[in-house]
Structure 1
Amino acid sequence: MNKAVEVRNLGRKDYKDTWDYQEKLFKETLDLKIRNRREALDSPTPNYLLMVEHPHVYTLGKSGDLENLLVSEAELKRKDATFYKINRGGDITYHGPGQLVGYPILDLDNFFTDIHKYLRLLEEMVILTLAEYGLKAERSPGETGVWLDVETPFARKICAMGVRASRWVTMHGFALNVNADLGYFDNIIPCGIKGKAVTSLNVELGVKEVDLSEVQEKLLKHFKDLFEAELKFVD
C-alpha cells in the first residue's frame, strides 16, 4: 500500500486544461492497476492531490439537469465564464477565483475501499479546517458537501463535492469558497438544490479576504492526518 500523495499546486489554471490533466493521471493509474493484475505484478500505484483555482466556470455532472443553469450561452460569455458537461457525480456547480479546489487522484486500494468513507473524510477535512477559523461547519443529511446552520432557515453551503471513481481510483473532488464572488452562484441552482444559500469563508468571517495559502495549508494538514498519508510536494 502506497500512502505517499504527490501534492501539485497548479495555481490559477483553465478548467478544461486541468480536467485533461486529471484524466491523464487517472488513466495512467488505471492502466498500471490493470497491468499489475494481468501480469501478476506488484508495481505501487501513485496518488496525487491537485490544488488549483479556476477562472469563472460552470460544470454539470453526469446526473445533472441543464435547467439548473439559469443563463444563456451569450450571457455566460458576457460574464467571462465557460461551461462544461463533465463525468463526475452531482449536478451543477461554479468554480472561480477565490475558491480553493482540490482534485485527489487516489488509488483507494492504498487506503480503504469505501467511497462513502472517502467522501465523509473529505468533508471532515473541510469541517476541521473551518473549525480553526471558529466556524461550526457540518454535513446536511442526504446532501454531499459542507454546510453552515443546517437545521435553520439560514442553511448555506460553503464547500461542494463531486467525485468519480473507477477500480477504486478517484478523480474530481471538492471546492471550498474562501474569497469567492457569490454573485456567480445566482446564475445557477447550485448542486440542483433549491432554497438554500451559498456562502464563502471571508463573508462568514466579515473580512475582505482570507489568505488562500493559509487555508490550503490547514486543509492539507487535515488531509494528511485523516488519510494517514505522506505528503510529497511537487512543483
Structure 2
Amino acid sequence: MDVTYLGRVEYAPTFEAMKQFTASAANAPSDQLWICEHPGVFTLGLAGKPEHVLAAGDIPVVPTDRGGQVTYHGPGQVVAYPLIDLKSRAIFVKEYVHRLEEAAIRTLAHFGVTGHRLAGAPGIYVRLDDPFSHAMLTQRPQHRVPGSPPPQPDFTGLGKIAALGIKVSNHRAYHGLSLNVGMDLEPFSRINPCGYSNLTTVDLSTIGVSASCEDAAHELAKQLTRLLQG
C-alpha cells in the first residue's frame, strides 16, 4: 500500500479524487493510503440530518457518500483515507471497521493514552478523568443475543478522540478515519457530533499529551499499513 502525505488540502477536491481513484482502481498499480489535514469543514454522511448542524456559521457543510452522520474536520486533526480493495485482502466490512479502530487505539497507545471502543457508537473514546487508565469500560461492546437491537451508547465520563466513516463500492473502500491531535475544538459545539447532542469531543492536547500532527500522522500510517495487510 503506497502512503502519500498530502499536507493540508481542501476537503471537496480530496473527496472527488477518492471517488475518481476508486472508480478507476482496476487500472491502479496499488492500493493507496492518503494522510492529510483539512481546513475547517463539516461533512454530512448518508445518515446525516441537517438539523444536527446547529450553527455552521462561516464553516462550509459538504454532503458526502460515506456512512455516519455529521462531523468536523479541521487543522490539527490527522485524517487517513485508505483506498483499498477489501476483497483482495480478504477483509470483510465489519472486520475493516474493527481494524481502523484498532489503528487509532494503537496510535493513542504510542502516546501513552488508552483508547476504548463504546457499545452502540463507532469510533474511539477516552476517559475524561484519566485518559491513561487501562481499566475496561462498563460501556464497552459485549456479546448480545443475535438479532437484538444495538444498545444505546452511554457517553458518561467519555470524550471522543477518533471518528470513522467509510464507503464501500464494488469491494473497494474509501473515506476513512480521523484522529484529533491539537485542534480548535469549538466547531464541534456547532453540531451534534455523529448525531449525538451529549457527546464531548477531545483531542490529545486537551488531555495533556503534547504531540505534533506530523508524529501522529506517521504513527497512524504505520499502524494502518500493518493492520490492513490482509
Give the TM interval when normalised to the shorter protein.
0.7 to 0.9
Residue by residue over 1:42-70, the C-alpha shift from the partner in whole angstroms, topping out at 9 and shown as x without a partner, is x8863111111100000001111110000
Q: Would the aligned equivalents of 2:77 and 2:182 in 1 still touch at CA under 8 Å?
A: yes
Aligned partners of 1:145 and 1:157 also within 8 Å: yes
Letter in 1 for 2:156: P
Indicate which of 175, 187, 192 corresponds to 1:189: 192
Choose which of 30, 52, 55 in structure 2 pairs with 1:71: 55
Shift in alpha-carbon separation, 1:108–1:194, aligned structure 2, 3 A: same
Q: Which amino acid is the alignment partner of residue 198 of structure 1?
A: T
1:113 to partner: Cα distance: 3.6
Number of the residue aligned with 1:19 = 15
Structure 1 residue 226 corresponds to structure 2 residue 210: no
Query: Residues 173-215 of structure 1: CA distance to partner in whole angstroms, max 9, x if unpaired?
Result: 11110011111101000000221200001111254xx211111
Please, what is the CA RMSD of the aligned residues? 1.7
Query: How many residues are treated as equivalent by the alignment?
Result: 205
2:111–2:209 Cα contact (<8 Å) kept = no
For structure 2, which runs of at least 5 residues remain unmatched after alignment? 128-136, 140-154
Aligned residue for 2:167?
A: 164
After TM superposition, the runs of 4+ consecutive aligned structure 1 residues lying more than 6 A away are none
Which residue is equivalent to 2:39?
55
- Compared with structure 1, are the counterparts of its residues 206 and 170 closer, same or farther at alpha carbon in structure 2 (3 Å cutoff)? closer
Task: Give, as a single letter, the amino acid of the residue that structure 2 aligns with 1:22.
Answer: M
Residue identity opposite 1:16 in structure 2: A
Question: What TM-score do you get using the length of structure 1 for normalisation?
Answer: 0.82
Alignment partners' CA distance in 2, 1:218 and 1:165: 25
Give, in whole Å, the separation in 1 of the partners of 2:50 and 2:92: 30
| Structure 1 residues 104-183: aligned runs within 5 Å | 104-149=82-127, 151=139, 153-183=156-186
1:204 corresponds, among 207, 214, 226, to 207
Q: How much does 1:228 deviate? A: 2.8
- What is the rounded CA distance, in whole Å, between the counterparts of 1:227 and 1:13 in structure 2? 24
- When residues 87 and 44 of structure 1 are mapped into structure 2, their CA distance, relative to the original with a 3 A threshold, is closer
For normalisation by structure 2, the TM-score amounts to 0.84
Per the alignment, residue 36 of structure 1 pairs with: none
Structure with bigger gyration radius: 1
Structure showing the higher helix proportion among its residues: 1
| Structure 1 stretch displaced more, 59-68 or 104-113 | 104-113
Asked if the contact 1:154–1:196 (Cα under 8 Å) also holds between the matched residues in 2, the reply is no
Contact 1:69 1:188 in 2 (8 A): yes
Other-structure match for 2:131: none
Quick one: distance in 2 between partners of 1:206 and 1:162? 25
What amino acid is the match of 1:215?
A: A
Deviations 1:110-139 (A, max 9, x none): 212400000100100110110111111111
